[in-house]
Each structure stands twice: as C-alpha cells, then as structure tokens.
Structure 1
Amino acid sequence: MCDSAGMPDDQNKSILQYTISTTWDGERPVDNAEIQLTFQRPSSSEGNGMVIEIDAPFYNDPIVPQNHAIGSTDKLWNYEVVEAFFLSESEGKYVEIELAPKGHYLLLQLDTQQNVLNYSLPLENYKATSTMTNGVGRWHGRAVIPLEYFPKNVNKFNAYAIHKSDPDRVYMSLFPAPKGHHSGPNFHRLNYFQDIDVNSVLG
C-alpha cells in the first residue's frame, strides 16, 4: 500500500507517497476507490511543518451543508473526507488531520486515551479543488500543517478516507484492521498504526 518512501525531488526534499486502496478491514472497496497521499517539506516561504497533498475520487456525497462556512468544520468525519493521524508513542499524543474536497478541514490533538486536548485548530494554508464531469469526479487538496501541531517524536501514523452516504458509506484505511477482528470501523485503534520517518518530511 505504500507506493514509495523517501524519494528525493529536484529540491533535495524527501517525499513520502502512499495509496489508500482497502477498506477499514482490508477488503477491496466496492467502488475500487484509490486515494493518493503525499507528505513532504514545505517551501521556505510556507514556514515550518508538513505539506499534505491529496488526489482522490470526488463523490460529492455526503455534501457539507451550505451553512457550514469554508474552514474548520465541526464533526467533519460525517462527510466526505480524507484523514491522516500522526502518533508519538513516547509522548502519548497524536494529531488528527481531516481534509475535505471543498476546503473544509478539522484538526485535533488527542492523547492515547482518546481525550481531546485541542479541538478545531486553525489552518491558514489549505486549498482544495474538485471537479465533476459526466458523473465522474476527482479532487485535489494541499495543506501546510504547522510544525507545532505535531507531538514531539512522531513515529507512527495511519491514514483514512470516507465517502458516500449510508447504506453505501465506504470507510477506507491505509493500514487496516484484520478481517473479522472488529464489528465496525474505528480510526483510533492505534495498534494498527505503522512506522514513519516523519523527520524526513517535517520542515
């Protein structure tokens, strides 16, 4: 599921690239969705942190209500969204980053007991574009996550994608839970997170 890792680009940066292609329990999704994720260092003008880029199918389902202004959005996980979680085992903390196709986002900091330490952190640098042609859509998002939002010594992560409405709701995971071990999705099962060399992509 990891396409490539630590590939230097022409600016001598490291790039980590991943493909989310399975459901939360390791099955192939019925719609064959694949979500591309890229983590890399920001440019010097963008400050310190990490750039997250998303290239994904766009379903426009479920739609974030129009009365939800673009920006930080409460309970964004109820809509179409891609998420990345970065965990520091030594600190006992992790950051949850949720990005949606029309510019909505939600950032939280939690401890490993799933207590929310900070909710709805601001994100100044996030842009998303989406297109729909003859019923086929794609979206691209690019966010610069500030360095201070990450706990110290991040060493594990996982990534997820959610789209469509019930009863056809699809929950996808980069590092899924084993089939038959759980009755439903829960993205906070930290034991399924896997190693990441986050220092290579944190500016």
Structure 2
Amino acid sequence: MEFKIEHTWNGFSVSHDPVTIRLAPANAGLFMDVTAPFYNDPPAPPSDPGKPFNGLWDYEVVEAFFLNGQTEQYLEVELCPHGQYLILLLCGRRKILKQELPLKFEVSRTSAQWNGRAHLPWSYLPPATDQFNAFAIHGSGVARTYEALYCVPQHEMQKDQQPDL
C-alpha cells in the first residue's frame, strides 16, 4: 500500500513534494518505507542514530498510527531523518503501555530528501488493527508545520483549533 501526505492537518495543500509512506508485508512483520523532503529543522535530536528517543515528536519526524478502533489500542511509530525513532504501544488516548520498543530502522538522506525503512514486527501491531493515519512534522517556532494523511475536515474545525500536539 502507498500513502501520500498531501495536506496540512487542517486541510490545506502542501507546497512541496508529498511525504510518501509505503507499507508492505515482510518476514515476520511489516516494512514501513518513508520518502520525505529533508528540512533539517529543527536540527538532529541529541541522541545517537539507530536508538529510540523519547520526545521525538518535537523534532522533524514522520509518524504512523495503527489503531484497533474497538479496543482503542494503538501503535505509534515515529521516524526521524537523523536515524532516531520512537515506538509506543498505547491504549486509549496517550495512555502508554510500552515505550521505546526496539526497531530495525535504516535511513539515508541528501540535502533535499530522506528515505527510511523500518521493520515493524507483527507482535507490535494491535490485534485487529482497522484504522491508520500518518503525519509529517517539521519546522521550528511559528514555522512548525503539521501535515496529515487524513486531516480534520473543514466542517469539523472549531474556532481557534490547533493541531493535536
């Protein structure tokens, strides 16, 4: 399956090549491949590449969420162009069951683009996963940008609504 993030969280078209996420079955799991523009903003987290980093959502990152809508159990996968990652298993909104799970993650980048490949073991995914969304986040301060595969529909927007940080 291939997904393209072509809109901001609130439905506006992005002004760059879209982030592409590909999901494909792999030996004992799922490959998640990311191709995305590279902004280097904010700069790399203060952690070694190839290691989990708590708080990665504050950096340049592509996130994917795999949800069982009935149990509200979900897997959050965060991948950074600098090689760090964060894998969280949650049940209910932001109720962490497991965090900093290990991951096989490789990344390459040029000055304009990065590519990442993660191997997600089947055991990480909630049983009967039936919903998926993905996000791309980059920029600092007022230039922070939140992009979404499935954005908030305009008719559901509330006055002064902000992205879910």
- TM-score normalised to the size of structure 2? 0.92
Number of aligned residue pairs: give it.
161
Q: 3-state DSSP class of the match of 1:167? A: helix
Q: How far apart in 2 are the matches of 1:41 and 1:99? A: 19
Which of the pair has more CA radius of gyration?
1
Q: Is structure 2 residue 134 aligned with structure 1 residue 159?
A: yes
Amino acid corresponding to residue 55 of structure 1 in structure 2: T
Q: Is structure 2 residue 106 aligned with structure 1 residue 127?
A: yes
Match of 2:157?
A: 181
Q: Could you tell me how far 1:33 is from its partner in structure 2?
A: 4.3
% identical equivalent positions: 36
Amino acid corresponding to residue 35 of structure 1 in structure 2: V
Q: How far apart in 2 are the matches of 1:53 and 1:113? A: 26
- TM-score normalised to the size of structure 1? 0.75
1:107–1:121 contact (8 Å) kept in structure 2? yes
Q: Is structure 2 residue 8 aligned with structure 1 residue 20?
A: no
Match of 2:124?
A: 149
Q: Could you tell me how far 1:119 is from its partner in structure 2?
A: 1.2
1:91–1:153 contact (8 Å) kept in structure 2? no
Matches for 1:102-141 after TM superposition, within 5 Å? 102-123=82-103, 125-132=104-111, 137-141=112-116
Q: 3-state DSSP class of the match of 1:41? A: strand
Structure 2: stretches of 5+ with no match in the other structure: none
Amino acid corresponding to residue 157 of structure 2 in structure 1: H
Q: How far apart in 2 are the matches of 1:55 and 1:92? A: 28
Bigger shift: residues 168-177 or 104-113: 104-113
Structure 1: stretches of 5+ with no match in the other structure: 1-15, 188-203
Q: How far apart in 2 are the matches of 1:97 and 1:122? A: 11
Q: Is structure 2 residue 53 aligned with structure 1 residue 73?
A: yes
Q: 3-state DSSP class of the match of 1:113? A: coil
Runs of 4+ in 1 over 3 A off after TM superposition: none
Let me know the Cα RMSD of the aligned residues.
1.4
Q: How far apart in 1 are the matches of 2:153 and 2:10? A: 6
